[in-house]
Amino acid sequence: MATRKELTTALAERYRTASREEKGRILDEFTGLTGMHRKHAMLLLSGRARPTKRRARRRVYEEAERNALILLWEAGDRVCGKRLKALMPILLDSMERHGHIELAPEIRSKLLSMSAATIDRALQPIRERNGRSRRRPATSALRRSIPVRTSADWNDPAPGFMEADLVAHSGPSTSGSFIQTLVLTDIATGWTECAPLLVREQHLLPRDNQGERPASIRMRMPLAA
């Protein structure tokens, strides 16, 4: 846009003092570079074009919607706009059911109609104020000291590289208390260790006679299983 304005300013002075034939050549050059209609280019270069006023954009979302959105964003662990858009109906129902939020019907409707891009734009100021969390040096050093492989790196692993998983025995609902099984599988051999967990706390893991963890169910199974 700045280049087009500079070009218009540069050619307008030539156009006003040019002869009829020169004006035609200037118009040909100007319309070829800008893609403007010839009639509009004539008015623009001669200074007779009316200045266009940009229409003010009507505000759809007010402070009430932005405050409610920030509350949902915080409750959703500050996820991105695309994820918050998908999560919002479930999150709203849950927070209203438990009394954490109470919205007027029109505010609720506006929140649910927000696009992911609008959500990101509305949250941009608070994200910039909060800034990105900095990793602690000790945490980074610990991560660097532990060899980690992804699923693409298991070409010919030596024994000792483990895959870990928690299996929740909760049935159709995850509410209330239920036992979980910690499953450790050696990638190279397929050897698997299983330990029942009443809760997810390390000090409650069972010990064997030698005081080692885990010491419950032991079985050998192929990796594919």
How much is the pLDDT for 141?
A: 64
Q: Decide if 104 is inside a domain.
A: yes
Q: Decide if 146 is inside a domain.
A: no
Q: Decide if 198 is inside a domain.
A: yes
| Bridge partners, 39 (sequence order) | none
Please tell me whether residues 16 and 42 are part of one structural domain: yes
Contact present, 73 and 84 (Cβ < 8 Å):
yes
Q: How many domains does the chain have?
A: 3
How much is the pLDDT for 88?
A: 92
Q: Decide if 149 is inside a domain.
A: no
Residue ranges making up the domain that contains 107: 63-130
Please tell me whether residues 38 and 70 are part of one structural domain: no
In the chain, beta strands by DSSP E:
162-168, 180-186, 191-197, 218-220
Which residues of the chain are under the pLDDT cut of 50?
Answer: 1, 133-138, 214-225
Gap between the Cα atoms of 66 and 117, Å rounded: 14
Q: Decide if 57 is inside a domain.
A: no
Q: Decide if 139 is inside a domain.
A: no
Which among 178, 181, 187 has a CA at the least distance from the CA of 165? 181
Q: Decide if 52 is inside a domain.
A: no
Out of 130, 146, 175, pick the residue that ends a domain. Answer: 130
How much is the pLDDT for 57?
A: 61
Please tell me whether residues 109 and 164 are part of one structural domain: no
